[in-house]
Structure 1
Amino acid sequence: MIKKSLAPLALGGFGIGMTEFVMMGILPDIARDLHATIPQAGYLISAYAVGVVVGAPTLVGMLGHRPPRSVLIWFMLLFAVFNALSAFAPNFQTVLLCRFLAGLPHGAFFGVGAVVATRLADKGKEAAALASMFSGLTLANVVGVPAGTWLGHNMSWRIVFLIVAAIGLAAAVMLHKLVPWFAGTPGAGLRNDLRIFRNPKLWLALGITSIGTGGLFAWLSYIAPLLTDVSGFHANMIPMIMIVVGVGMTFGVNLGGRLADRVAPLRAIIILLVTMAVLLGLTAVLARSQAAMVVLAFAVGANALALGPSIQILLIEESREAEMLGSSLGQSGFNIGNATGAFLGGIPLTLGFSYTSPQWVAVGLALCGLGLALAMVAHGRRSDAGVLA
């Protein structure tokens, strides 16, 4: 049961998850309606991701001195407005701009929300509180994305963005009513906050996020052709398997919260990156087994999202002088991982290799993330004995 004060954060996460991932399902509908090609429509996904990367540090740096509740409300209002404008956009260029603008508050919301969640949590339950916030994002993949895809196919893609805008408004109202007021951070500002980048361990943490999670996206970006061309599933089964992935993500984020509350975040990350590499390797080896692929769809989704709470806690720990900025960088890192994983995973396909080849790229990215985590352990032993205590 989600704590009442955390419910607005989960609802905001649901809206954000829905608008980000439903694009994959309604892309053909948007392309057809706006007289664009599928590759051109794909720029809408990229524009949103760029907005996340740009907006997370910029908005938090500008507003970090303000009371967190007020900042979160403004982020949700911006999110609602730009999604509503997407629904009424008359042409492709306007939708492209609106998608970029809608992405701006995404990472900033999660960054500030993560800090607020840890402040609202009971002692020793900070990671579980983070998991509650991220559960909204994972539930979006189970409920919001399939429902939005159906609406986009059978009614209009514009209705989907209006629904997302309504969710954003509802989250803003709930934030005002249910989240307690916290004072802002005196003296916070982008110039002062940027000092956190002097910490080499923060850069390693960002590398883990940007590269290690790329394994998830190298797997996820090419899962559909892997399942149809190698595993032999009918195309109509792909949405059902994606729901299995979403259920796994929902399970995993809560499991990851419990794990991060029991062991040090970096230790949890190392464990989960090892298991991620193993599971991704199994998807390549067992790709011709339909039963194995369904089980692995759940397991990989669960393992990947279990990393989320530990990564957020680690980023907050390594940026105590500007924890909201540091926390917001997690979403920037995830979106860099999204772009990196999809790009690198596609290279062997362009060279003529089979649809199992991106899975080995995914394994390599997970192992690179593991290497950075071990480098962070080594650095910590030199500078701060007991980093894993």
Structure 2
Amino acid sequence: MTPARRRTTLAILAIAVGGFAIGTTEFVTMGLLPQIAEGTGVDIATAGHYVSAYALGVVVGAPLIAIAFAKAPRKGLLMGLMAFFAVAHLAVLAANTYPTVMAARFLAGMPHGAFFGIGSVVAASLVSHERRTAAVAAILGGLGVANVVGVPLATLLGQRFSWHLPYVLVGVIAALTVAAVAVFLPHQPPSGEESMQAEMQALRRPQVWLALLIGVVGFGGMFAMYSFITPTMTELAGLDERYIPWVLAAYGLGMVGGMVLSGRVANRVGVLKGIIGALAAIAVLLALFGWAAQILWLAVLMVFVLGLLPSIVVPLLQTRLMDVAHEGQSLAAALNHSTLNTANALGAWLGSVVLAAGWGYGAPSLVGAGLAVLGVGVAALSALLERRSGGAAPRADRPASRASSVGAGTPV
């Protein structure tokens, strides 16, 4: 590996460490939902609001930060976002009631979307055009590793000691990310084209809104089920709660696999076709999950696949947004995570609604299947409109040559 390639790889890995911290905090709440509910004196359905609070923090923070700091040097902004993220997680030590935990989770979520959005733009700028999806997937790969290592370990620590402990550890990892970005990421001055007005131009493009809508409805389905994965596995599959970390690890392995495949899918079938195909498979999976969850080995296998399929879509959707947004890439990339967490909040809320109605733990996955079908419809509409207009983002949705094919897990 050449020195320049090594520097690029280390810079992207430094940002990916932040993705690891974000992935751990985003998903560990699902694994510790019974403990957090007991610790804050609420039932499990109400504790699902903690998932939504973090998601809403992402939804609010991503566009505000991307617009307000459009002209800020990207390296310094990434460091500042992780520093805020670290402080918000350490503050959870003082949270023991429903209102204080809701506030802590909301604040913790605010830097999430902007960090991933700006980090993705930075990563894509460090590599060739054909390797953009792979570079973005490498950043998002921190989420997958978090679900293989961080979430199961944090869940285990939370079960055995205190549900506060995982959030404190995430704060420490976030502080280490600040140091890693400071050391390995080269200076990222604004190009001179960024401005609040330029970023806002992206919102005038219909294809941007369609891509964002794909994220909201398509991923809302996955979160409707996964937000309640712990009680679903214990109630339907009969799994002992102490084995839940292994189920979360299976989901994480699926995520890593999806990130590895994402770059290849983009190069071989195209971005938009890949999104449509993966969302259709998610719809089928969720429609069958309520039945499959009653058979333990099959439930674990389907959790693995549920981690794999959405993780193929996320880098594809991120690339799609950066292409159709043109001059508003930072805002669009940040809004991708804002919409995915709108999906998180929507899915968790709809799941809590059907549970509170007494429909049982098989019902959230059926709600999710319906949302995934809507996501396929929106993606198909986007493809139809693009075809009629002559192709708004031809390079994004045309497979690259086989010579440029690169997996998302390849060092970039």
Normalised to the residue count of structure 2, the TM-score between the two structures is: 0.86
Aligned mates of 1:193, 1:6 — CA distance in 2: 24
**What does residue 381 of structure 1 align with?**
387
**What does residue 190 of structure 2 align with?**
184
Q: Which secondary structure state, in structure 2, belongs to the residue aligned with residue 124 of structure 1? A: helix
Q: Which moved more, 1:212-221 or 1:106-115?
A: 212-221
Summarize the Cα distance change of 1:40–1:337 in structure 2 as closer, same or farther, 3 Å threshold. closer
Q: Aligned pair 1:370/2:354, yes or no? A: no
Q: Aligned pair 1:259/2:265, yes or no? A: yes
Summarize the Cα distance change of 1:232–1:39 in structure 2 as closer, same or farther, 3 Å threshold. closer
- Which residue of the other structure, out of 279, 282, 286, is the alignment partner of 1:273? 279
Root-mean-square deviation (CA, aligned residues, Å) is 2.5
**What does residue 131 of structure 1 align with?**
137
RCO higher in structure (CA 8 A, sep ≥6)? 2
**What does residue 75 of structure 1 align with?**
81
Summarize the Cα distance change of 1:227–1:333 in structure 2 as closer, same or farther, 3 Å threshold. same
Displacement, 1:184?
0.9
Per-residue CA distance 1:357-381 (angstroms, 9 max, x = gap): 3322222111110100110011101
Write out aligned runs for 1:65-104 (5 A). 65-89=71-95, 93-104=99-110
Aligned mates of 1:28, 1:274 — CA distance in 2: 32
Per-residue CA distance 1:98-156 (angstroms, 9 max, x = gap): 32222111110000011011112244111111111111112112211222223223333
Aligned mates of 2:200, 2:387 — CA distance in 1: 25
**What does residue 64 of structure 1 align with?**
70
Q: Which segments of 5 or more consecutive residues in structure 2 lack a partner in the other structure?
A: 1-5, 399-412
Aligned mates of 1:280, 1:157 — CA distance in 2: 29
Q: Which secondary structure state, in structure 1, belongs to the residue aligned with residue 130 of structure 2? A: coil
Q: Is this contact kept in 2: 1:66–1:185, CA < 8 A? A: no
Displacement, 1:189?
3.3
Q: Is this contact kept in 2: 1:128–1:261, CA < 8 A? A: no
**What does residue 204 of structure 1 align with?**
210
Percent of pairs with identical residues: 38
- Which residue of the other structure, out of 303, 313, 321, is the alignment partner of 1:297? 303
**What does residue 251 of structure 2 align with?**
245
Summarize the Cα distance change of 1:225–1:163 in structure 2 as closer, same or farther, 3 Å threshold. closer
Q: Which moved more, 1:251-260 or 1:148-157?
A: 148-157
**What does residue 117 of structure 2 align with?**
111
Normalised to the residue count of structure 1, the TM-score between the two structures is: 0.91
Give, as a single letter, the amino acid of the residue that structure 1 aligns with 2:103: L
Summarize the Cα distance change of 1:366–1:46 in structure 2 as closer, same or farther, 3 Å threshold. closer
Summarize the Cα distance change of 1:195–1:375 in structure 2 as closer, same or farther, 3 Å threshold. same
**What does residue 406 of structure 2 align with?**
none
Give, as a single letter, the amino acid of the residue that structure 2 aligns with 1:241: V
Aligned mates of 2:237, 2:164 — CA distance in 1: 34
Displacement, 1:37?
5.9
Summarize the Cα distance change of 1:347–1:161 in structure 2 as closer, same or farther, 3 Å threshold. closer
**What does residue 121 of structure 1 align with?**
127
Q: Which segments of 5 or more consecutive residues in structure 1 lack a partner in the other structure?
A: none
**What does residue 282 of structure 1 align with?**
288
